[in-house]
Amino acid sequence: MYYDPFVLPFTIGLTALLLFLAVKYIRWIRTFRKSERRKIRKGMFSLKTFRAAGEVFSECLLHRKIYRTNPFLGYMHTCFGLGWFLLIVAGKTESMVYHTSAFNPPYFAIFFRFFHPAKETFPYSETFAFITDLLLLFILSGLFLALAKRFWSRIVGMRKTTKHRPLDLLILTSLWLIFPLRFLAESFTSGLRGGGSFLTNNAGEFFAEFLPLDHLTYPAWWAYSGMLGLFFVLLPFSRYMHIPTEIVYIFLKNWGIRQGTKFNAFSKIQMYACSRCGICIDSCQLNSSLQMDVQPVYFLKKIRHGKEYESLIENCLMCGRCEASCPVGLTHNALRLSKRPDLSRITKNTYSYAKNAAMPAPAKVAYFAGCMGQLTPTVTRSMERILEQAGVSCTYIDKEGGVCCGRPMLLAGNREEAAVMAEKNRAILKASGAEVLVTSCPICLKMFREEYGLQIRIVHHTEYIDELMREGKLKTVPGEQRTVFHNPCELGRGCGVYKAPENILKHVSRKIDTDFDGKKSLCCGGSLANTSIDGRQRNRIAGDAAKAYAAYQPDVLVTACPLCKKTFATASAVPVKDIAEVVAECCRP
């Protein structure tokens, strides 16, 4: 039996950690609704589990998504994630080959160099020594980058990083010391009695020249084990809880669990899965334009540590830029929304005035401009022109005023009142007998798609125009205007509509590609989701965004949302148009 008292800190720490995690996760999952637990049971024995395992490999070990932010930052995380994982795998395999048994205590593999007399060889012993040395070097190179990042975060492409608590700094230090201590312990052992490979062997010979290794080796192993133990014990109380929780989150997500309307156990799992990397800070325009510390990293941190977070609940544009950049893939909008209280007061009179809305004439295609659409008559007129040119018979269901789709109400937290509005609109839509619903407002689009449960096709006008152009029903002449496209948050990140506006603009204008195409589009600042910032602050965001687009020197800044158009109108030096207006100008009979 291989044993030495120095393995105790590591063993106790690891056991305590595993027990703690098991209890915590089981307790959380037990509070899940029955339907959700059924989903887990069903998902567990399906292909979804393999997909989740693949995602765990690429996100928790490789950290693929971080490479999109910055290659150095990605490499740093790969070093720690994949490096440490492979080191454990290689060490375990080595110990099993040596011991010819799978059942050796976990510490045996971790402290293999201590227990294994270096002179005694076994199959591939030199290869194993080489591999573990290589992996250790790999991790140490990542550690070097991490140190550099502490002092100069721009080196890894981050303008601003998270402010940490003292406990987090302590555990960070313990994590950083683990690998140098392992390096020292293995080098000292090698210097004393041989073994190791290119890294630890040479370092050992070097240290042996001027250090009393026979006095230092044993303490070094104690320090290494102690540091591992300390890290394991502190892990649940620090941000490193994200390491095990992210794995749980990925599996649950793949099995079909979603963030619901309430802040529940799954929300807690998301909260603990946040690694506080701070990538959301740079992506958030409330930071870049208004220097506000309201990003998901701070929001979740404050909830977790019982700090005042109420003021942050409302202070979010829900533009989804943080979600798009989050390496863990947390659903930040849904999380924030789950904390907004439902102040609905439902009576039989709630929105009963909806009956005063004019009933639409029946048609196959229904057009819904939305409240904001009503404020931009140029957009609705352009749409009418386009539909007429394409010969589409369409009923304009809210021409004489309609009921709001309910999304602004829902974003304020009042789901029940939003549901009543949805009910009223469903009745109006049903009366029209439409099979396709076209809307000009992406806010309405998202609401219709996600909350209405309609059995008809729901498309944004960009998608519909694109379709009409492809089918040859709508003929256009190529335009000469240089355009930049601002993809509205609710359209792109919200509903996944990226290609249609791109196709249209390439046909009717000279579209300039920007850094803000696709998922990286900016928020205009007009978002109704934020009730915390005032008009001037909105204008600042809009102005900064407009300036960023103007840098590409377009003739027109094109958007596809009446609210974005309105918001940019006062903030942009470049003329702002809706995509429907641009198309209408290029229509030919």
Partner 1 sequence: MPTLWGYSISAARSIDYDKNDQSFLRRLAHSCPSSKLCIGCGGCTAACSAGNLTEFNIRQLQMLVKRGETRETAEQLHKCMLCGKCLLVCPRGVDTRKMILSMKRFLREHDQ
Where does this chain bind partner 1 (CB under 8 A)?
Answer: 343, 345, 347, 349-351, 353-354, 356-357, 371-372, 374-375, 401-404, 406, 408-409, 412, 414, 417, 421, 526, 528, 531-532, 534-536, 563, 566
- Closest distance of CB 484 from partner 1, Å: 23
CA atoms within 13 A on the CB side of 335: 28
For the CB of residue 566, give the shortest distance to partner 1 in the complex, in Å.
Answer: 5
Question: How near is the Cβ of 343 to partner 1 at its closest, in Å?
Answer: 5
| Cα–Cα dist 250/587, whole Å | 48
From the CB of 299, what's the least distance to partner 1, in Å? 19
Q: Give the nearer residue to partner 1 in terms of CB position, either 362 or 401.
A: 401
What secondary structure, in 3-state letters, does 430-448 show?
Answer: HHHCCCEEEECCHHHHHHH
**3-state class (DSSP) for residue 482:** strand
Q: How far is the CB of 33 from partner 1 (least distance, A)?
A: 27
Q: Which is nearer to partner 1, 328 or 418 (CB)?
A: 418
Calpha distance 60→44 (Å, rounded): 19
Nearer to partner 1, 278 or 370 (CB): 370
Nearer to partner 1, 199 or 316 (CB): 316
Q: Which lies closer to partner 1 via its Cβ, residue 35 or residue 349?
A: 349
Rounded to a whole number of angstroms, the minimum distance from the CB of residue 441 to partner 1 is 10
Alpha carbon 368 to chain centroid distance? 31
Report the residue number, 185 or 409, with the smaller CB distance to partner 1: 409
What crossing angle do the helices spanning 34-44 and 47-55 adopt, rounded to 10°? Answer: 90
Contact between 236 and 269 under an 8 Å Cβ cutoff? The reply is no
Cβ–Cβ < 8 Å for 420, 377: no
Angle value at C-alpha 434, between 429 and 440, nearest 5 degrees: 75
Nearer to partner 1, 120 or 310 (CB): 310
- CA 539 to each of CA 286, 431, 553: distance values in angstroms, whole numbers, following the listed order: 12, 40, 21
Q: Quote the least distance from Cβ 402 to partner 1, whole Å.
A: 7
For residue 283, the minimal CB distance to partner 1 (Å) is 24
CB 274 to partner 1: min, Å: 28
- The alpha carbon torsion through 164, 75, 151, 69 (nearest 10 deg) reads -70
User: By C-beta, is 79 or 443 nearer to partner 1?
Assistant: 443
Minimal distance, residue 354 CB to partner 1, in Å: 7
Cβ atoms of 132 and 87 closer than 8 Å: yes
Q: Using an 8 Å Cβ cutoff, are 557 and 528 in contact? A: no
CA–CA separation, 366 vs 360, rounded Å? 9
User: And the tokens for 233?
Assistant: 């014990």
337 vs 404, which CB is nearer to partner 1?
A: 404
Long-range Cβ contacts of 458-462 (<8 Å, 24+ apart): 460/491, 460/495, 460/497, 460/500, 460/560, 461/383, 461/560, 461/579, 461/580, 462/491, 462/497, 462/500, 462/501, 462/504, 462/560, 462/579
* Least gap, CB of 378 to partner 1 (angstroms): 15
Q: How far is the CB of 356 from partner 1 (least distance, A)?
A: 4
**How many whole angstroms separate alpha carbon 455 and alpha carbon 457?**
7
CA 160/CA 278 separation, integer angstroms:
8
481 Rama sector, left if φ>0, alpha if ψ -120 to 50, beta otherwise: beta
Nearer to partner 1, 180 or 543 (CB): 543
Q: Which is nearer to partner 1, 111 or 396 (CB)?
A: 396
Question: Tokens 């369409």 — which residue?
Answer: 394
Shorter beta-carbon distance to partner 1: residue 444 or 468:
444
Alpha carbon 324 to chain centroid, angstroms: 5
